Structure 1
Amino acid sequence: MNAKILVAGASGHLGEKIIRGLIDEGADVRAVIRPNTALEKIGALKQYDIGVIQTDMHNINELTLACKDVDCVVSALQGLEDVIVDVQSVLLQAAVNAGVPRFIPSDYASDFTKQAAGENRNFDLRRKFHEQLEKAPIAATSILNGAFAEILIRNNPLLDLNNNSVSYWEDENKRIDFTTMDDVASFTAAAAMDATTPRFLRIAGFQASPKELAAIGGELKEQEFKLIRQGSLEDLLALIQRERAAHPEGENELYPAWQQLQYMKSMFSTELFPLNNRRYTDIQFTGAKTFISALLQTTSAQ
């Protein structure tokens, strides 16, 4: 029989990609979504041959029923403490109540286990949820993937294809972990179907330093790229503290400017190791040159 996988946060961008990956893996998929989910998102999910369950994500009884006979619960929930800690805790308890053997939390991030508390607000929320997860009588696997490569699509200063420049903090040779959302989704789907996964799986589609990004951009555009040092990591930390103090309203936002700077500090402070890229040999990760080439093609077509 095909494995039964329940996906929470299914209406989100990553959640829908995970569902497509699970379908490719031959899974029997259930998607749980909130009753107030937008109609267009519900319609997008119903195009797949899956069970779509609209339920109150705070209702333990409804979620327990949704988890019945499920082999693995995959969370792709996004939000602040009320979601990552509170709602996800209800989902976890529902999975335990229903006897689900495995749980994949909504981590999909740099290796926050190697970072000090307080360095990244959104990572701290995941760490807080993990305190409950570690005590729960269920096998858990966290997917750690570094930065989503798609952040570069927004013409991030880290790779400015319009101005032929790469900005960085501290060290131009520091290799940064990137993985496309499609690759994260494919790997997560494969892990959900794999009953032997360890507590953590670490993947990086490509690891590239600012110097290497500049070289790739220069080669593809046949133009020189400038490396711009923004300062030290201490300078970045001071900037984060100033921005956070100046914008307290950001505490209620998922991605305020200072939170994005916290992500940047994480990128320049950690590296995923060891990597588990080869665990599922049918997944071919998108490399730096391929990804940046696609960015250039998209930019020129606009």
Structure 2
Amino acid sequence: MTTVLVAGATGSLGSLIVARLLERGATVRALVRPSNADGGARLREVAAHPNLSLVVGDLTDGAGALVPHLAGVDVVVSAVQGGPEVIIDGQLELLRAAEAAGVHRMIPSDFSINLWGYDYGVNILSDLRRVFAAAFRNSAVARTSVAVGAFPEFFLGPFHEVLDPAAGTFAVWGDGTRKIDITTIPDTAAFTAAVALDPATAGRDIHVVGQQLTVLELRNEVEAASGHRWKLVRRGTLDDLQAEIVRRQFAATSPFQYVALQYQIGMYSGTASLTDVRNADYPDVTPTSVAQYLAGPGASHFEIQAGAQSTEDWPAAV
């Protein structure tokens, strides 16, 4: 039986990864902070599972303190989110602890667009993940990266400024005819659990996807699911998008204010598109279509949201 330690186990993605690993028969250790020593609300439904144990710790504790939690672990899955102190420094402590404990593989917290289709400086969050990836070059722990494209939970929310329920508009940069990659958070968890238990993925970048469709096709799905028309707003060309990114960077007090557009330019230009999609390797994972998502939890995107999002924290995901 494979033993997997999940860091970030109480988060929206991490908790689902824990649940899907347990369903697949893995032994799971959930690394939880002292403030979530009981597993928190998201792990409550699996807290009594016989193959789940909670270990209390934090990446800021350092590699030495993390090593005992990793004894006998085969695979580490990191679903943490944050800035460089988490994605680079914290995950590096986790990697060093994994090396000391003899762990074979680690899945870092990538879960994003294709990190390697564009240069440094295009996307600040991708840059953090690429810097951390370099730490595996001389490591005995094999890196397995999971790329999924964009989460519809974020892409259709206020973060990306695509869908505006108050104005009844759907915005696009460029001509909207290039296919983009969209995978729900639950499907990402299901794929990640399958990848974590697949030793053939050692040292590889695994691309999996829920659905590939153009932004204009996405608008059609939104209209079909909501039952009304959404006015198409063309923001400008991709050159205009790049100019808007630069403008926002000069005025920004937080990366939150421009990083969504950095994701979009990679998606709309195709440089961030997934390649060699491996869904067929995991036939027991049936991805949710955009239509299914919008008919379920995604219907909340059609409602006018009260209050503004914080611009003080690092964005959580694509």
TM over 0.5: yes
Which residue of structure 2 aligns with residue 14 of structure 1?
A: 13
Work out whether residues 176 and 208 of structure 1, in 8 Å CA contact, stay in contact via their aligned partners in 2. yes
Which residue of structure 2 aligns with residue 257 of structure 1?
A: 257
1:100/1:83 CA distance change after superposition, 3 Å: same
Match of 1:197 among 201, 225, 232: 201
Amino acid at match of 2:181: D
Work out whether residues 64 and 97 of structure 2, in 8 Å CA contact, stay in contact via their aligned partners in 1. yes
Which residue of structure 1 aligns with residue 283 of structure 2?
A: 281
Query: What's the offset of the Cα at 1:222?
Result: 4.6
Structure 1: 5+ residue stretches without partners: none
Q: Which runs of structure 2 are paired with 1:1-302 in the superposition (5 Å)?
A: 2-35=1-34, 37-38=35-36, 42=40, 44-45=42-43, 47-49=47-49, 50-57=52-59, 58-154=61-157, 157-160=161-164, 163-198=167-202, 199-247=204-252, 249-250=253-254, 256-269=256-269, 270-294=272-296, 297-298=299-300
Moved segments of 4+, more than 4 Å: 38-41, 160-164, 295-302
Q: What does the per-residue CA deviation read over 1:132-188, in whole Å, with 9 as the maximum and x for residues that have no partner?
A: 122211221100001111124525542445655421111221111110000000110
Q: Is the partner of 1:244 in helix, strand or coil?
A: helix
1:215/1:43 CA distance change after superposition, 3 Å: closer
Aligned length: 295
Structure 2: 5+ residue stretches without partners: 305-318
Task: State the Cα RMSD in Å.
Answer: 2.2
Work out the percentage of aligned pairs sharing the same amino acid: 34
Q: Is the partner of 1:114 in helix, strand or coil?
A: coil
Amino acid at match of 1:45: L
1:266/1:6 CA distance change after superposition, 3 Å: same
Q: What does the per-residue CA deviation read over 1:171-227, in whole Å, with 9 as the maximum and x for residues that have no partner?
A: 221111110000000110111111111511101101121211222233344544432
TM-score in terms of structure 1 length: 0.90
TM-score in terms of structure 2 length: 0.85
